[in-house]
Amino acid sequence: MKFSELALFQGLPADAIDEYVKIGESTAIESVKRFCRAIVEVFGQQYMRSPIANDVARLLHIGEQRGFPGMLGSLDCMHWRWKNCPTTWAGQYAGCSGSPTIILEAVADYDLWIWHAYFGMPGTNNDINVLELSHLFSNLTKGIAPPVHYVIQGNEYDVGYYLTDSIYPKWSTIVQTIHEPQSQKKKYFATKQESCRKDVERAFGVLQSRFAIIAGPSRFLRKEVLHDILTSCIILHNMIIEDERDLNAPIQDAWEGPTPTVEMVVDENYRFEQFLARHKKIKNKDAYFALRNALVEHLWEQRTNHGS
């Protein structure tokens, strides 16, 4: 698999080192496909998992240290140019750049671990369209997400949130910056939010710098192959993060709340009503503003207490 590794890390053409590895171009391409598929099959469950209870406890602890209690990471999208996009699909995949692209939605944390990846939407879509179709909040709507508990300004919360830019909708699970802040409190909040939100953008930059195959335009034809390549790069990226980060950093114990389970409810109407209630809670605009205002006050109090 020597060529496959070189192709991922250096983005070499299939016939670049044919004299060295003694294989033809078609064989080299096939080796890359099989290598990526093997990475996904063997390591995908471990390195592409959603956060479990201990992961959530660590993320909440780090978020509170950075001034954002309840933060689970930052959310954004990246476009990967598709050079060999089939002509019949070019129209729906060509976004504002004019070239066909495929979108990756991702959530990254403070040490650039990518916890969520949703890939495959055409480049003509915006971040809101991708969010509506992704599975980011699927466990939350099903009632099986790990427990979250934190307090801001005396108010208790049981749903975590992600930092985003201003294009995203105003949901209770999303915290945006403040556009053109006027007061000192809001200016300070906007500065802190935009600083922490850069985590996901930094993760995209590190991902592309490590794996040149996704830094340049893709030369493969099938979307399934592109999905395997990108997913395998994210898995290898998370492996590197796991090897480098400090796993002995002190964290708070996971909240001893009730463990979420999937209840076997006989009444399907009741189950559906619960699903709708959780879905409505996520998209509660009033809860969004209440949370953001509480964070504005919380950050300002921290700054005042530290005398900065």
Is residue 30 in some structural domain?
no
pLDDT in tens, the chain (308 residues): 555 555 555 666 666 666 666 677 787 788 888 989 999 999 999 999 999 999 999 999 999 999 999 999 999 999 999 998 999 898 889 977 789 999 999 999 999 999 999 999 999 999 999 999 999 999 899 888 898 999 999 999 999 999 999 999 999 999 999 988 889 999 999 999 999 999 999 999 999 999 988 988 888 889 999 999 999 999 999 999 998 876 555 444 443 444 445 455 557 788 888 888 999 999 999 999 999 999 999 999 988 887 55
Q: Is residue 32 part of a domain?
A: no
* Number of independent structural domains in the chain: 1
Q: What is the pLDDT of residue 14?
A: 63
Domain contains 6: no
Does a structural domain hold residue 5?
Answer: no
Residue 108 domain-assigned (yes or no): yes
Domain region containing 188: 48-305
DSSP string, the chain: -HHHHHHHHH---TTTTHHHHT--HHHHHHHHHHHHHHHHHHHHHHHSPPP-HHHHHHHHHHHHHTT-TTEEEEEEEEEEEBTT--GGGHHHHB-TTSSBEEEEEEEE-TT--EEEEEEEEETTS-HHHHHHHSSTTHHHHHT-SPP--EEETTEEE-S-EEE--TTS---TTEE---SS--SHHHHHHHHHHHHHHHHHHHHHHHHHHH-HHHHS-B----HHHHHHHHHHHHHHHHHHHHHHS-TTS--PPPP--PPP-----S-HHHHHHHHHHHHHHHT-HHHHHHHHHHHHHHHHHHHHHTT-
Residue 9 covered by a domain = no
Q: Give the residue from 179, 185, 196, 194 showing the smallest Cα distance to 293.
A: 185
* Domain contains 146: yes
Is 2 within the bounds of a domain? no
For residue range 17-71, list pLDDT tens digits in order.
Answer: 666 666 777 877 888 889 899 999 999 999 999 999 999 999 999 999 999 999 9
pTM for this predicted structure: 0.87
Strand partners, 122: 102
